Amino acid sequence: MNIMLFHSTYGLRPAVTAAADRLRAAGHEVWTPDLFDGRTFDSFEEGMEYKEEVGKDELLRRAVLAAAPYSERGLVYAGFSLGAATAQTLALGDDKAKGLLLLHGTSDIAETASVDELPVQLHVASPDAFETDDWLNTWYLQMGKAGADVEIYRYAGAGHLFTDPELPDYDEEAAEATWRVALGFLDSL
């Protein structure tokens, strides 16, 4: 598969490049665009401040420009937290998208969003302050209404960004389970 993997609010950190390497080792071609122009952050708050400074529209523009040269190949869009939200937006707007792998995040869905049985897999902590049960229930129904084929995996007791070994949220057991399931998902596409 051709995978466009977007980073979280922390920026393009080693955990993202390690995830890309893991995907490459499984036989996938992976791109990891840097939407923050080389900036990384040690805290969620710093990353969000930078995101607000740059603006949602500009970040989306950067993501579209990064994906555009490869979209004809049929991409799987993937991302971590903020990057998952970005991946979701791009996948729902790309009729050639092969799949959507969401790690730690989702995004709003336009009422007019429509896909043809797009395979979607979400991995999220339970509970997760950013992805509450009420939000996820609504999100799941809206994705189904849009035509997506959605699987959700919840990890009890894990922190929000539980796949990043450099963050306090890291949960090795949940992270390894996520990668086992996600690699199986990608192999099925």
pLDDT confidence of residue 111: 87
Strand runs labelled E in the chain: 2-6, 29-31, 75-80, 99-103, 119-126, 149-156
Low-confidence ranges of the chain (pLDDT < 50): none
Q: What gap in Å lies between CA 47 and CA 177, rounded to an integer?
A: 27
* pLDDT tens for each residue of 21-37: 999 999 999 999 999 99
Note the pTM of the prediction, 2 decimals. 0.96
* pLDDT tens for each residue of 115-147: 999 999 999 999 999 999 999 999 999 999 999
